[in-house]
Amino acid sequence: MNGSSRRAFLRSSAAAAGATVLAAPSMARGEGGANDRIRVAAVGIRGRGRALMNSLEALAGDNVELAALCDCDEKILNLRAEDHEKKTGKKAARVADMRRILDDKSIDAVAFATPNHWHALGTVWACQAGKDVYVEKPGSHNIFEGRKMVEAARKYNRMVQHGTQCRGSANIIEGINKMKEGAIGRVYMARGIAYKYRGNPGRAIEKPAPAGLDWDKWLGPAPQKPYSDFRRNGHHILWDYGCGEIGNQGVHQLDMMRWGLGLETHPTKVQSMGGCYIYESDQETPSTQTFSCEFGDRKILMTFEVRNYITNSEADMGTKYEFVDHRNVVGVIFLGTKGYMIIPDYSSYHMFLGRERKPGPTKSVAGAPMMDTDHMKNWIEACRKRDHKLLAADILEGHMSAAICHLANIAYRTGRTVHFDPKTEQVVGDAEANAMIRREYRARFVVPDEV
């Protein structure tokens, strides 16, 4: 749906809901410098969206207003709005359809925490509507979408921040910089892991959607299918909506590996295999997956592994150096000619030097927190200064990191080595694999070729 068709849709919905979505006008940014208020709408507030709400509320002192909440589930929408009012003493508008928010000039920016299959279309629509965007990871559902998000951000001069919060951690920045200065020598390999214990996801038992949930809006760009709790709650493990664990958790670690290795291009050779070996369920993405890739002539190997059941620790990650939830084993290992560095969570690093693995430089934060608010604050600064180069995780970085997840899944689904052309963003000589570069969209929810 392009801008004009989106507005046509809104003419009928606005008539039913009233002439305006929000009552208060936006302050024109640029007139008051850093004191300008930025009014943000949060879209998709069931899970990660709640964390984004917390960050936006924490930035109230920086003249940031959480002005509107949007969700296609009326129950969740009302619950979050009531919680926000109790916490802050302020009311946020309640909106069931994001398109009403996008056509409202009083909203400056939008924070998206919808399921993956909505990220790209919501971002493109928001850019077309003149809104800055914070979009959760992985930014895209496929490679085509990621490129369209970048094009929309640049065409409309929008600040689009990708939700890979590790780029906002002062500690991880320090560790990456030390590594680039040669602290562990020449890095020849980077390995990421996501060993997160998951229970049996079960079966897709179809039934009527719960009262108050607009299932058609939830599906959006995805194929029309009946409601099931499995589809809604397990969207990360179904190809129609998600990208598996490597896209859900792994994009954080893959992004750090790209960052640390200074990789500004796509992989050229990708291999992956795996499957669902523990449970009998309707899960489609692999619960156990291995992945490796190379980058042209660069003498570097990148690998990633997913496990969703009982596992060992690795490089003391998950035992001595615990992940944020203190149950799972997640992190990155950079291997160099003088030592190695681990990043076992969202806010720390530890180096070990020589064959004796003697402790080297290190920095950590108690509790290993995600740096949500710092990352959001960085986005707000870029919005005020109108400079996407200030973004810690500009959407181009998000696209490049998410594309690795998509390529891993393409290699897994085809069962063969994928040879990728970074310039054309196409698989070489493989029509089946190239068909997975983008998806088919429902008529009202198309990510356009021309943004």
Q: Mind listing the pLDDT tens digit for each residue in 30-78?
A: 443 445 899 999 999 998 999 999 999 999 999 999 999 999 999 999 9
Give the model's pLDDT for residue 2.
52
The 10s digit of each residue's pLDDT in 380-430 is: 999 999 999 999 999 999 999 999 999 999 999 999 999 999 999 999 999
User: What confidence category does residue 371 fall into, taking pLDDT thresholds of 50, 70 and 90?
Assistant: confident
pLDDT attached to residue 20: 44
Domains, the chain, ordered by start: 3-166+373-394 (3.40.50.720), 170-364+402-428 (3.30.360.10)
User: Where are any strands of DSSP class E within 261-300?
Assistant: 269-275, 288-294
pLDDT on residue 25:
41
- Cα Rg of the chain (Å, integer): 22
The per-residue pLDDT for 393 is 98
pLDDT reported for residue 12: 38
**C-alpha angle with apex 224: 245 to 100, nearest 5 degrees?**
90
Q: Order across the sheet with 132-135: list the strands.
A: 93-95, 64-70, 38-43, 109-112, 132-135, 160-162
Answer yes or no: are the C-beta atoms of 57 and 202 closer than 8 Å.
no
Tens digits of residue pLDDT in 294-318: 999 999 999 999 999 999 999 999 9
Over the chain, what is the mean pLDDT? Answer: 92
**Res 13: pLDDT:** 40
Distances (CA, A) of 106 to 16, 21, 146, 193, 199: 19, 9, 27, 43, 43
Q: Both tokens of residue 296?
A: 């042209």
Q: Which of 407, 425, 424, 404 is nearest to 416 (CA)?
A: 407
Helical segments of 220-371, H only: 229-233, 244-248, 250-261
The DSSP element (H or E) to which 57 belongs, if any, is helix 48-58
Q: Is the pLDDT score of 291 beyond 50?
A: yes
- What mean pLDDT is predicted for residues 167-195? 97
Q: Is the pLDDT of residue 3 over 90?
A: no
User: Residue 35 has what pLDDT?
Assistant: 52
Residue 10: pLDDT above 50? no
Residue 368's pLDDT is what?
76
d(C-alpha 193, C-alpha 290), whole Å: 9
Q: Does 27 score more than 90 pLDDT?
A: no
Tokens encoding 333: 């290992």
Q: Region 112-136: what's the mean pLDDT?
A: 98
Regarding beta strands 187-195 and 301-307, do their DSSP bridges make them parallel or antiparallel, or are they unpaired? Answer: parallel
**Among the residues of 110-266, which ranges form H helices?**
116-128, 143-155, 170-180, 215-219, 229-233, 244-248, 250-261
The Cα–Cα gap between 388 and 39 comes to 19
- Please tell me the predicted confidence (pLDDT) of residue 22: 57
How far apart are the C-alpha atoms of 399 and 255, rounded to whole Å? 10
The pTM (predicted TM-score) of the whole model is 0.93
Cα separation of 269 and 145, whole Å?
21
Residue 15's pLDDT is: 35
CA 408-334-391 angle, 5° bins: 75
Asked if residue 368 lies in contact with residue 346, where contact means CB atoms within 8 angstroms, the answer is yes
Arithmetic mean of pLDDT, 172-197: 97
- Residue 324: pLDDT over 90: no
Q: Can you tell me the distance from the alpha carbon of 191 to that of 257, in angstroms, rounded to the nearest whole number? A: 8
Using a 10 angstrom Cβ sphere, with 0-12 exposed, 13-18 middle and 19 or more buried, the burial of residue 200 is exposed
